Chains A and B, each alone.
Chain A
Amino acid sequence: MRSITSLILVVLLFTAACKKAQVPTAEVNVAQVKEITLDPNSPVWDAVSLHVSKMILQDLVEPRLMEASTSETQVKAITNGTEIAFRLEWLDDSQSDLPGPKHFIDGCAVQLPAKVDPNVPAPQMGEVGKTVEISFWRADWQAIVEGRADNINAIYPNASIDHYPEDAKSLENNPQARAETAARYAPARALGNRRAGPRDQPVEDLIADGPSTLSPAPNAISKGKGVRTKNGWAVVITRPIPAGFTVSTPSQVAFAIWEGSHVEVGARKMRTGWVPLILK
């Protein structure tokens, strides 16, 4: 019995030695792969070098985050030559994906300079004349994409609703009139606020020229997928590889994390400065 136990111990130690923890790199090295993946659990990521980004408080502009939460984010990146994918993983014990009063949503963002240039914009969301592009993933959008219903009972299961105007009997055979009536009571959707509508992607494309200037990007170019890990999130965000980003022309990237249960939203976030982005 003792010899069997010893044998198991030896096997376990050998296995652990083979899975030696990766030594993080100071920069985000983008590995070239044949196929890009949206799956945070894909084995493609196993061979990619790891960067660990230390997060800092957004404490430059009001409203500020005054108490630190997420301390670091593990980052990996791959490209197939046309698209680039970032995998972010961080610890967050509580899953926050239901919006509501004082309920905020877990999320992460990848920020890139709009132009690959040694003279980078300010890392805090760019500056006038030096635009940054942002791909923003949110946990509630992930839940919606995965099938959570677009109704109040998905958020408040015990809510009892008497009637919505679009449910009027006179409209039951007129889908267009129903949609128009519903839009009257959802002005953000009626105006095309991308933030407000039902979603087919958990990621939103944004641009900014400094704090308070965040705006929708002209085109939706990013995709993404987030999954819960044992005690946090793993998220993959893909987007077209920045024009001019080559092996000999590195760029920069920055990250932000929002922990919903810590009342983090908008400017109240953990962030990084610029991190070198290098194509290997």
Chain B
Amino acid sequence: MARVNNWQLGREMSYWYPESRPQKQFAAVFDTNKCIACQTCTLACKTTWTSGKGQEYMLWNNVESKPYGSYPLAWDLNLLSLLDGQNWGEENGQPVYKGSTIFESAPAGERVLGWRPESEDYAYPNVGEDDCAGGIEHGASIDIPHQMAWFYYLARICNHCTYPGCLASCPRGSIYKRPEDGIVLVDQNRCRGYQECVRGCPYKKVFFNPMTSTSEKCIACYPKIEQGLSPQCFANCIGKIRVAGFINTPDKAEADNPIDYLVHIKKVALPLFPQFGLEPNVYYIPPIHVPTAFTKQMFGPGVDKAVEVYRNAPNDRDLTSLLGLFGSTEAIMRKWKLVGDKAIGMDENGKELVNVPFKEPVHIRPAYDKLYQITRTNCP
């Protein structure tokens, strides 16, 4: 194995191949606080890519309720129970992962630490939906912010990892990471369906197609990315929880890059299970109402700071304006800026793609419309 730098761990780690970062790395930020689990993203992906024979059970994008939801069943718990000692330490004021990654924990004879879901594990995509952690006392009411029962929605796609577990697992080299944008793909001409990638991806975002006996996965809608457009699950997101872009390493962070700003500058968006060691490139703004013992295991040691920053957003015009740009255009915003009361999203040349008022204007519509002499109601 080679030694590579994983900045999310704050240290070097072992990986099957030497470090080779792409020219650009596709990345995304999902705001879990805005997701309503409408599954429009799931359907947008499903109808676009996985409506064929053998793809029936595949959800390249899914949304699960945490803590009890998971697709495939217990994808996270199974690996967490296999991976020993996921403790974080601190060096020079920065968090450093002291445990082992899936590559460093690979058993004898294996390329990575992993497990294989059974067919039945894919049979319950809505398990745990809207189930709260903890009970609700009879007569209880919710205070905001509340400290009672909680759940939240976790939308998931392939993380297009810097150090993909699927890529490391494939003995045939059938999986590759595109140098131009870091998107991870299964070569459908070379794959022979060994399912080593299904075993090796800790996020279980590679799926075996029993009709073609090959494995398939989220392609980040690369035909759209190549045209400067966001993937289908982003463009169709009702809650506007997502923003797509490209991320730099922390030492090259650019404040006018939306992803860099959220991940590196404000540190409000965090990777999913960074301790697995894949340097995943989908980042989550953690839910602010969830006990941090849970979210720290899921998003790493940066949760407290991320929650603090997010809660302070009303006092942070830059952050608020960027959050307002989420879902405002199908085009990928490579840059952004706040000008006066408008947040402006731009392409890589600085050309404006969209502008969003810092504060939406309020229109008060009287109940009685004098022009049409009609009383309006609030019926949908």
Contact = CB atoms under 8 A, between A and B. Distances in A.
Interface of A: 59, 61-66, 98-104, 140, 150-152, 155-156, 159, 161, 163-165, 182, 184-193, 195-197, 211-212, 214, 263, 265-267
B189 interface: yes
A164 B213 contact: no
Given A164-B51, A182-B52, A187-B188, A100 B171 contact: no
B193 interface: yes
Given A59-B109, A164-B51, A267-B171, A102 B56 contact: no
B209 interface: yes
Given A101-B121, A102-B116, A152-B211, A63 B196 contact: yes
Contact of A150 (B190, B196, B211): B211
Contacts of B51: 163-165, 185
Nearest to A265: B194
Contacts of A101: 116-119, 121-122, 195, 198, 207-208, 210
B252 interface: no
23 contacts: A63-B111, A63-B169, A63-B171, A63-B196, A101-B118, A101-B119, A101-B121, A101-B198, A101-B207, A150-B53, A152-B211, A164-B52, A164-B53, A182-B53, A185-B52, A188-B188, A192-B189, A193-B188, A193-B189, A195-B213, A212-B171, A265-B195, A267-B171
B193 A99 contact: yes
A263 B111 CA distance: 16
Given A101-B122, A186-B53, A266 B192 contact: yes
A66 B109 contact: yes
B70 to A, nearest CB: 15
Given A63-B196, A102-B117, A266-B194, A186 B212 contact: yes
B50 interface: yes
Interface residues on B, range: 35 or more
A194 to B, nearest CB: 10
Interface centre among B110, B117, B188, B207 (most CB of A within 10 A): B188
Closest 5 A-B residue pairs measured CB to CB? A185-B52, A64-B109, A196-B212, A266-B194, A188-B214
B171 A188 contact: no
User: At the interface, is chain B mostly helix, strand, loop or mixed?
Assistant: loop
A187 B362 CA distance: 49
Contact of B56 (A159, A184, A186): A159
Given A63-B111, A265-B194, A152 B210 contact: yes
Interface in B179-226: 188-196, 198, 207-214, 216
B109 A196 contact: no
B77 interface: no
B3 interface: no
A102 B119 contact: yes
B191 A188 contact: yes
Interface of B: 49-56, 108-111, 116-119, 121-122, 169, 171-173, 188-196, 198, 207-214, 216
A229 B168 CA distance: 39
A103 B192 CA distance: 14
A164 B191 CA distance: 24
B208 A214 contact: no
A61 B56 contact: no
A195 B212 CA distance: 7
Nearest to B50: A185
A186 B54 contact: yes
Contact of B210 (A99, A161, A184): A99
Interface centre among A163, A182, A193 (most CB of B within 10 A): A193
Contact of B173 (A98, A152, A192, A212): A212
Contact of B189 (A152, A161, A191, A267): A191
Nearest to A62: B111
Contacts of A196: 188, 212-214
Contacts of B209: 186, 188
Nearest to B194: A266
Given A164-B51, A164-B52, A189-B212, 11 more contacts: A65-B109, A99-B213, A101-B210, A151-B211, A185-B50, A191-B188, A191-B189, A193-B191, A193-B214, A214-B172, A267-B194
Interface centre among A163, A164, A192, A211 (most CB of B within 10 A): A164
A156 B121 CA distance: 14
B109 A186 contact: no
B52 A266 contact: no
A212 B173 CA distance: 7
Nearest to B208: A101
A164 B50 CA distance: 10
A196 B108 CA distance: 31
A280 B210 CA distance: 43
A207 to B, nearest CB: 14
A237 to B, nearest CB: 19
A47 to B, nearest CB: 38
Contacts of A164: 51-53
A30 B209 CA distance: 40
